[in-house]
């Protein structure tokens, strides 16, 4: 009887832990807490997204960094170039020093939803992590 009760309690604990970890994926919030900054520069229907890492962090070059965009609330995307390219860091060549702006052409006004995965490193802790990106930008 004790082993059945113990097994039941363990299953409950494991189930509650997995639900808590799945609720922090960043899909339900517009703040993903990544050390990545994205600045929007808008000139008419042309939008430039400047991606950069905060001080003490770097974005890895040789990994599949991905950003996808979707438009909502009357905004339409005509064209997009969301490739990661830029200048390597001379001190740490496996990381970007500067990224080239990503370019979109849009029509109308609304929300631009950015989702993706960016591989970044914390130089002070000497660790690299994949981070889920989720941001909303008003256009």
Q: Where are the domains of the chain?
A: 32-138
Percent share of the chain, pLDDT over 70: 78
Q: What are the DSSP calls for 59-115, one per residue? A: EBSSS--EEEEEEETT-EEEEEE----EEEPSSSTTBEEEEPPEEEEEESSSEEEEE
Token duo for residue 23: 């609720």
Tokens of 107: 């029509």
Residue 9 and residue 15: Cα distance in Å, rounded? 10
Which pLDDT tens digit goes with each residue over 83-111?
999 999 999 999 999 999 999 999 999 99
Task: Return d(Cα 41, Cα 25) in angstroms, integer.
Answer: 28
The pair of structure tokens assigned to 94 is 């496996």
Where does the pLDDT of residue 59 fall: very low under 50, low under 70, confident under 90, or very high at 90 and above?
very high
CATH architecture of 32-138: Sandwich (2.60)
Backbone φ, ψ for residue 14 (5° rounding) = -65, -40
8 Å CB contact between 15 and 23: no
pLDDT, averaged across the chain: 83
Q: What pLDDT sits at residue 25?
A: 33
Helix (H, G, I), strand (E, B) or coil at 132: strand
- The pLDDT of residue 10 is 52
Q: Is the pLDDT of residue 66 over 70?
A: yes
| pLDDT exceeds 90 at position 15 | no
Looking at residue 33, its pLDDT comes to 85
Distance CA 108, CA 110 (A): 7
> How far apart, in whole angstroms, are the C-alpha atoms of residue 117 and residue 133?
6
């Amino acid at each position: 009887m004790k082993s059945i009760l113990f097994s039941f309690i363990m299953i409950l604990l494991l189930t509650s832990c997995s639900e808590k970890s799945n609720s922090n994926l960043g899909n339900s919030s517009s703040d993903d807490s990544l050390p990545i900054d994205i600045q929007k520069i808008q000139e008419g229907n042309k939008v430039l997204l400047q991606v950069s890492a905060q001080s003490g962090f770097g974005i890895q070059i040789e990994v599949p960094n991905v950003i996808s965009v979707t438009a909502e609330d009357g905004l339409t995307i005509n064209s997009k170039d969301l490739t990661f390219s830029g200048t390597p860091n001379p001190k740490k060549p496996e990381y970007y020093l500067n990224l080239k702006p990503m370019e979109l052409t849009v029509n109308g006004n609304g929300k631009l939803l950015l989702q993706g995965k960016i591989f970044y490193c914390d130089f002070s802790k000497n660790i690299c992590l994949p981070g889920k990106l989720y941001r909303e930008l008003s256009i």
